[in-house]
């Protein structure tokens, strides 16, 4: 059974992996993973960076399509967009299957 192809191209996936490659941004995505929209103040709670720093990280995540923002009065609320993460997972699952197949072929060759 073959896996579905990711909907995003390799360059688009690269921006997702790059955005997730930072510990602070990964933490922000985890905080938004509950599905509840959160303000910058809520997201910054417990982090050792300024609200401005959180905003910069959120811009990177937004550019990669991992979060989206909505204005609510004077505040912006952010929420997670799961599709790019699902596409990244599909891509990684495909690569893992390719490696598993290659290692199996190597094992069969060595055992002859």
Using CA atoms, how far apart are residues 15 and 20, in angstroms rounded to an integer? 9
Using CA atoms, how far apart are residues 105 and 11, in angstroms rounded to an integer? 30
Output the pLDDT for position 102.
Answer: 94
Output the pLDDT for position 3.
Answer: 54
| 77 backbone dihedrals φ, ψ, rounded to 5° | -115, 140
Using CA atoms, how far apart are residues 30 and 22, in angstroms rounded to an integer? 12
Which residue ranges form the domains of the chain, and what is each CATH number?
A: 10-110 (1.10.10.10)
Output the pLDDT for position 29.
Answer: 96
Q: Record the pTM.
A: 0.80
* Grouped pLDDT means (10 residues each) for the chain, 112 residues: 60 90 96 93 94 96 95 93 92 92 92 89
> Which of 3, 10, 23, 18 is CA-nearest to residue 66?
18
Report the C-alpha dihedral over residues 75, 71, 60, 36, rounded to 10 degrees: 80
């Amino acid at each position: 059974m073959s896996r579905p192809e990711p909907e995003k191209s390799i360059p688009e996936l690269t921006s997702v992996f790059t955005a997730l490659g930072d510990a602070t941004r990964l933490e922000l995505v985890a905080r938004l993973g509950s599905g509840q929209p959160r303000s910058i103040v809520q997201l910054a709670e417990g982090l050792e960076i300024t609200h401005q720093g959180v905003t910069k990280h959120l811009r990177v995540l937004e550019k990669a399509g991992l979060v989206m923002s909505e204005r609510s009065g004077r505040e912006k609320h952010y929420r997670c967009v799961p599709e790019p993460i699902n596409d990244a997972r599909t891509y990684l699952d495909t690569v893992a299957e390719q490696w598993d197949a290659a290692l199996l072929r190597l094992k069969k060759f060595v055992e002859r």
